[in-house]
Amino acid sequence: MTFRDRTTNVDALRSWRGDVEADYIYTTGVAGERFFTELRDTGRILAAHCEACERTYLPPRMYCEKCLGPLSDWRPVRGPATVEAVTIASVDAHGNRPPEPEVWAVLRWRGIHGGLVHRLAVPPKQAKPGLKVHPVLRPAGSRVGNITDILYFAP
């Protein structure tokens, strides 16, 4: 069965326009507050360790996702990060082409569960898995406690 009347004149069909307006402020949370204030104030990247499961989480969280126990053992990540996967972004979030393609990567640290996604400051051709990189931060004093306090990762 279908509708008994159908519009055959397409000009008679209408549409209605509107924006879905919304504005948000997200707290970084109990674990996020500690992670981001540490990054802002000392430049260190902290992870949280679960003794029972022998897992260290990055980004750190207040609970272990495996045993649902609380996490209180926090420690800075050590050594360089390893590039696990890369993508070369030729279009931005709005579908526009940036002047230069951007290199983005999944970054992991030895002995750490999880990792970070961030920009990589290397030419697209050199962006390969296995690359060892370090974070490059905004200068102390201009950091605000946000993931963009890390400008990018570089070899």
- From the list 78, 97, 146, 155, which residue makes contact with another protein (rule: CB under 8 A)? 146
In the sheet that holds 73-76, the strands lie side by side as 73-76, 46-50, 55-58, 113-114
Residue 70 interacts, among Zn ion, another protein, none and using kind-specific CB cut-offs from 5 to 8 Å, with: another protein
Size of the site for Zn ion (CB under 5 A): 6
State the residue for tokens 């102390």: 140
Cβ atoms within 10 Å of 37's Cβ, excluding its own = 14
| Residue 14 sits in the site that holds another protein (CB under 8 A) | yes
Cβ atoms within 10 Å of 2's Cβ, excluding its own = 4
The full DSSP string for 113-134 is EE-EEEEB-S-GGG--TT-EEE
Select the span of 27-35, 40-48, 61-69, 133-141 touching Zn ion (CB under 5 A). 61-69
| Residue 47 sits in the site that holds Zn ion (CB under 5 A) | no
Contact 47, 112 (CB under 8 A): yes
Cβ atoms within 10 Å of 141's Cβ, excluding its own = 6
Indicate the residue whose CB is closest to Zn ion: 64
Give Cα 114 distance to the centre of its chain.
Answer: 11
Which lies closer to Zn ion via its Cβ, residue 20 or residue 52?
52
Site for another protein in 55-74 (CB under 8 A): 61-63, 65-68, 70
Which lies closer to another protein via its Cβ, residue 1 or residue 139?
1
Residue ranges in contact with Zn ion by CB under 5 A: 50, 52-53, 64, 66-67
Residue ranges in contact with another protein by CB under 8 A: 1-7, 12-33, 36-37, 40, 61-63, 65-68, 70, 144-147
